[in-house]
Each structure stands twice: as C-alpha cells, then as structure tokens.
C-alpha cells in the first residue's frame, strides 16, 4: 500500500482536525439541544438529588477522546469506503447503533418511522400483521395479529425470521427489517422462518395489506362473557367497557363470569393497560414503574368500582402476551381478582419513552421497568399462569357406540314410568345421542378449559350452596 493511499490520523493538518472536532462537538451539542426542556430539567434535578458527583475532568477527557475517535472513523468511511455514503445516513446509523446497543427496545426513529408509530397506536397501519423484536441478530415474532396476512399464513409467536426475499437478516437493524417487510399493498414478500421443533426452515410468501386492528372483540359463549383484546391502542379501555356492558345485557342474569383473552397480545399503550385493569378492580395498585433513581418511581392505582360486579374472571395468556398484557394479568393475579390460565408470558417488563426530536423524528428510550402490585418484576420473567394449560387438540379415544346403554337392552323401561321401551323410543334415543355427538365442539382447548372453570366456580357460589342445603333439609333434593 502506498503512503499516498494511507494517511495516519496524526498526520492530518491541525486546522483540519480542529475543524473536524468542532463539527463533531457541534453535532453532539445540537443533538442534546433537541431534547425537550422539561426532560433536561428533570435530569439535572435527579443528579443533584441522588447521584454522586463524578470526576468531571477525567470523564470529560475520556468523552472528548471518544468523540475525536468518532470523527476519525466518520471521515475514514466518507473518504475510503468502497461506495459513497451520505453523511446524514451515517450519522443516523451511528445514533441508532448507540441506542440499539443499550437493549432490544431502544432505537432511533426517523421522521417516517415516527409517523408510522403514531399511526400504529391509533390501530391502523400497513404491513404483514406481526409484532417483532430483535434477538441474537434475528427478528423474533412476538405475536401475529388476528385476521392479518401473517396470522392467516400460520406465523407463530416465537418464530425467528432469518431471511427476507432470500436476503439474510444478519446485519440489519430491527428498523431496517421492518421497513423491508412493509411496502405497497398487494405486493408479495417471502419470509424464511426457523421454528422450534422443525429441522428445516419454512418459506412463506405473504401479500402485504392494510392492517386495521380492531383492538377489542367480544361475544357470548352461552352463559359466559368472552372478551378478546388484540392490542392496547387508544380506544382499548372504552372498547372493553362497551364489551362488558353489551355482554351483560345480552346474557342477562345467567351470566357466570368473564374470560379476558390476552393471548398473542403484544402490548401497546401503558395508560390503556391501566384503564383495562381498573375496569375489573375496585381498589389497590395496578402497576408501578421504577427508573434508575428512587424518586422516579410512579404508582398507578385503581379507582372505586368493579364494572363486572365481582363475578369470576379467567385471563388467558401465552408466550405472545407481552408488556401491557402482562401488566393487566399481573395486576389481576396479585389482587386475586382473576385466575390466570395458559402458558408463560413473553416477559417484556421495560418502559419505553418516545422523545420527539424536532425536525429529526424521535428516539425511543428505555427509561424504567414495570412491577406488579406485589413488587414482582416482569422483565425477562413474565407472568406464570395459576393453571398451566398447553394448546392441545381434543379428540375422542372411543369409537361411536362403544358402550351398551340401558336403552339398548331388550324390554328396557322407557323414561315414562310403567312403560316399556319400543323401537320408536330407541330410534328417538339414538337420534338424540347422534345429535349430541355431532354437536360442534369449540376447537380452542384453552378456551374450553376456561369456560369449564368459570361454570364450575359458579356452582359453588354462596347463594347456590345455601339453596342446596335448604332443599336437602326440606326433603326436596332429588334422589337417585
């Protein structure tokens, strides 16, 4: 290599290095100045209140040395990288690298990403319909969103996306990967997926669509109220209140209890998680957020009044239940207000604050951790169900007609006293049995278990027990 091709940083002219350092210093000062004024003031107060004073001189020298290094690397890339690179893109990538190195959820959002995020929280956005995070250099699926291309194609929570249209994810940031998965509605993209338990990768072609998320869905399961929360968006609390009130009217006095389905719910807005928890709680703490200093702790409490009237609740969770979903399930579990059923949740217990940077998008920064009312940390642990129920397929182990019944015996008495069964009775009985056998069964095993549990709990409520005792004492109880 010729001397002309390589020039030591020390051999740069003094004015050139001074100019470069001044540029980097101005850049950093400008970056700091983009913070909201109140954020800077709070940070200053925190240092004065609790943090020990540091050796400003020695720390400052080290910082400026690193800034000098940053400037050197920046100039080398601009001058000698094999392809020309825009200075703005380099700086944005450097900022994003600084944030993503902290944890998987901190990141830099350019103006387009920031706009997409604001649309996302309103419940409508374009893409494939999957919530993702970055883990070990790969994109990991937190959960698919119901009734989206990803959900319909069978993408599952815990899947790892390794390639997009045949190009490896390795080296991409999470933002880059998300940008690649988004695109014009109606266009296709091929995802290569690694799934636990499969030796070969899966290749799935998805067609991009406009994703409209209805965050709350509900229906009556006979005498049980079923409420499904897909995501915590701006209208989730009001939608849940509406669901509770409508189901109370529809089911009426026979209502046994509520199932709150948070499976594959990736989270969303904190205030909506607090609002949903408050619907089912009459008092007490819902969640606390704790930052690096003690006086950063914030506690949110329930207001008086339980809209469900104290009826039993079963909350369904799984590995795709994250963040806000874990706040709700943790609060109801700690207050013994609900039975948590399903499998271990995802374990995202960190708080991200989105700080707008005027003219430059925003930064998403992890600023605190979530804790349940009893003081349990959600981070990297998740919520453990009270009753573990794995997703399963239910099938009958016995063939139809495996048992001989009383009605099959020759000359057996019919249900009407004093009469013998005839062929018509047997036909009617067989018809009734067949209709029961052919009755459609709910395919969701976890939901079946939740419904059975609620109905079982309703058998042992106090008024019902008192009625059984009274019937027994008066001799009106049925005899076998």
CATH of the domain at 130: 2.30.42.10
pLDDT band at 35 (very low <50, low <70, confident <90, very high): very low
Dihedral of CA atoms 135, 137, 142, 147 in degrees, nearest 10, equals 180
Residue 376 sits in the same domain as residue 228: yes
Residue 227 sits in the same domain as residue 262: yes
Pick the more confident residue, 298 or 41. Answer: 298
Cα atoms found within 13 Å of the Cα of residue 419, Cβ hemisphere only: 9
Q: Closest by alpha carbon to 139, among 98, 178, 106?
A: 178
Supply the pLDDT for residue 30.
47
Tell me: pLDDT of 33 over 70: no
| Cβ atoms within 10 Å of 129's Cβ, excluding its own | 25
- Per the CB < 8 A criterion, the answer to whether 319 and 159 are in contact is no
In terms of DSSP H, where are the helices of 50-196?
56-80, 87-100, 111-121, 149-152, 174-181
Q: Is residue 9 part of a domain?
A: no
Tell me: pLDDT of 480 over 60: no
Structurally, how many domains does the chain consist of? Answer: 4
Tell me: pLDDT of 39 over 50: no
Tell me: pLDDT of 465 over 60: no
Tell me: pLDDT of 31 over 60: no
Determine how β-strand 313-317 pairs with β-strand 130-135.
unpaired
Residues recognised as catalytic: 323, 334, 348
Supply the pLDDT for residue 425.
52
Residue 133 sits in the same domain as residue 248: no
Number of H helices, E strands in the chain: 13, 19
Q: Is residue 205 part of a domain?
A: yes
Tell me: pLDDT of 24 over 80: no
Q: Is residue 2 part of a domain?
A: no
pLDDT tens, 108-145?
A: 998 888 887 776 666 556 689 888 888 888 899 988 88
Q: Is residue 8 part of a domain?
A: no
Residue 69 sits in the same domain as residue 81: yes
Q: Is residue 266 part of a domain?
A: yes
pLDDT tens, 59-118?
A: 657 888 888 999 999 999 999 999 999 999 999 999 999 999 999 999 999 888 888 777
Where residue 283 sits, what CATH number does that domain have?
A: 3.90.226.10
Average pLDDT estimate for 389-408? 80
Supply the pLDDT for residue 457.
87
Q: Is residue 235 part of a domain?
A: yes
pLDDT band at 222 (very low <50, low <70, confident <90, very high): very high
Please return the burial class of 463, using the count of CB atoms within 10 Å of its CB with bins 0-12, 13-18 and 19+: exposed
Residue 79 sits in the same domain as residue 128: no
Tell me: pLDDT of 416 over 60: yes
**How far apart (Å, rounded) are the C-alpha atoms in residues 70 and 82?**
19
- The per-residue b/e assignment along 406-440, b for 16 or more CB within 10 angstroms, e otherwise, is ebeeeeeebeeeeeebeeebeeebeeeeeeeeeee
Residue 253 sits in the same domain as residue 281: yes
Dihedral of CA atoms 294, 295, 300, 303 in degrees, nearest 10, equals 130
- Per the CB < 8 A criterion, the answer to whether 132 and 161 are in contact is yes
Residue 168 sits in the same domain as residue 231: no
Q: Is residue 92 part of a domain?
A: no
> What Cα–Cα distance (Å) separates residue 309 from each residue in 248, 261, 304?
10, 19, 12
| Contacts of residue 29, Cβ cutoff 8 Å, sequence gap at least 6 | none
Tell me: pLDDT of 373 over 90: yes
Domain final position from 388, 421, 437: 388
Sheet with 313-317: strands ordered across: 216-221, 224-229, 257-261, 313-317, 339-342, 387-388
pLDDT tens, 263-284?
A: 999 999 999 999 999 999 999 9
Residue 369 sits in the same domain as residue 221: yes
Q: Is residue 403 part of a domain?
A: no
Residue 208 sits in the same domain as residue 295: no
Residue 207 sits in the same domain as residue 220: no
Domain final position from 192, 212, 232: 212
Cα atoms found within 13 Å of the Cα of residue 125, Cβ hemisphere only: 23
Owning domain of residue 449: 412-471
Average pLDDT estimate for 412-421? 64
pLDDT band at 185 (very low <50, low <70, confident <90, very high): confident
Residue 257 sits in the same domain as residue 358: yes
Supply the pLDDT for residue 472.
54
Residue 193 sits in the same domain as residue 220: no
pLDDT band at 37 (very low <50, low <70, confident <90, very high): very low
**How far apart (Å, rounded) are the C-alpha atoms in residues 265 and 348?**
12
Tell me: pLDDT of 9 over 60: no
Average pLDDT estimate for 367-388? 96
**How far apart (Å, rounded) are the C-alpha atoms in residues 213 and 148?**
9
């Amino acid at each position: 290599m010729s001397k002309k091709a390589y020039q030591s940083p020390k051999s740069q002219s003094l004015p050139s290095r001074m100019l470069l350092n001044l540029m980097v210093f101005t850049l950093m000062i400008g970056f700091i100045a983009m913070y909201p004024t109140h954020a800077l003031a709070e940070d200053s107060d925190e240092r004065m209140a609790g943090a020990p004073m540091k050796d400003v001189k020695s720390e400052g020298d080290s910082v400026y040395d690193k800034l000098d290094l940053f400037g050197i690397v920046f100039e080398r890339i601009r001058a000698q990288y094999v392809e020309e690179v825009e200075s703005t893109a380099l700086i944005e990538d450097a900022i994003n690298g600084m944030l993503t190195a902290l944890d998987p959820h901190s990141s830099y959002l350019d103006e387009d990403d920031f706009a997409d995020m604001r649309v996302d929280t309103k419940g409508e956005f374009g893409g494939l319909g999957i919530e993702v995070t970055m883990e070990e250099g790969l994109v990991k699926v937190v959960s698919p969103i119901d009734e989206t291309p990803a959900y319909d194609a069978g993408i599952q929570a815990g899947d790892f996306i390794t390639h997009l249209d045949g190009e490896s994810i390795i080296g991409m940031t999470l933002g880059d990967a998300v940008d690649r998965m988004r695109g014009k509605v109606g266009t296709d993209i091929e995802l290569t997926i690694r799934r636990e338990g499969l030796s070969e990768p899966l290749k799935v072609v998805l067609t991009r669509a406009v994703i409209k998320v209805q965050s709350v869905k509900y229906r009556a399961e006979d005498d049980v109220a079923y409420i499904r929360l897909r995501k915590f968006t701006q209208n989730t609390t009001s939608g849940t209140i509406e669901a509770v009130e409508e189901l109370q009217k529809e089911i009426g006095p026979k209502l046994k209890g509520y199932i709150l389905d948070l499976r594959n719910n990736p989270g969303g807005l904190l205030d909506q998680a607090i609002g949903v928890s408050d619907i089912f709680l009459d008092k007490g703490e819902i969640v606390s957020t704790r930052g690096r200093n003690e006086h950063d702790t914030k506690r949110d409490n329930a207001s008086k009044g339980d809209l469900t009237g104290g009826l039993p609740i079963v909350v369904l969770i799984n590995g795709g239940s994250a963040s806000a979903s874990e706040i709700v399930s943790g609060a109801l579990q700690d207050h013994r207000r609900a039975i948590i059923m399903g499998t271990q949740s995802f374990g995202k217990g960190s708080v991200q604050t989105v700080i707008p940077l005027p003219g430059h998008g925003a930064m998403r920064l992890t600023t605190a951790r979530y804790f349940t009312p009893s003081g349990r940390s959600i981070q990297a642990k998740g919520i453990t169900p009270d009753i573990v129920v794995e997703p399963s397929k239910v099938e009958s182990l016995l063939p139809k007609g495996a048992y001989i019944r009383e009605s099959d015996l020759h000359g057996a008495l019919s249900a009407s006293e004093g009469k013998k069964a005839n062929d018509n009775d047997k036909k009617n009985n067989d018809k009734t049995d067949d209709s029961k056998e052919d009755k459609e069964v709910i395919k969701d095993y976890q939901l079946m278990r939740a419904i059975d549990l609620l109905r079982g709990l309703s058998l042992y409520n106090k008024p019902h027990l008192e009625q059984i005792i009274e019937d027994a004492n008066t001799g009106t109880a049925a005899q076998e």
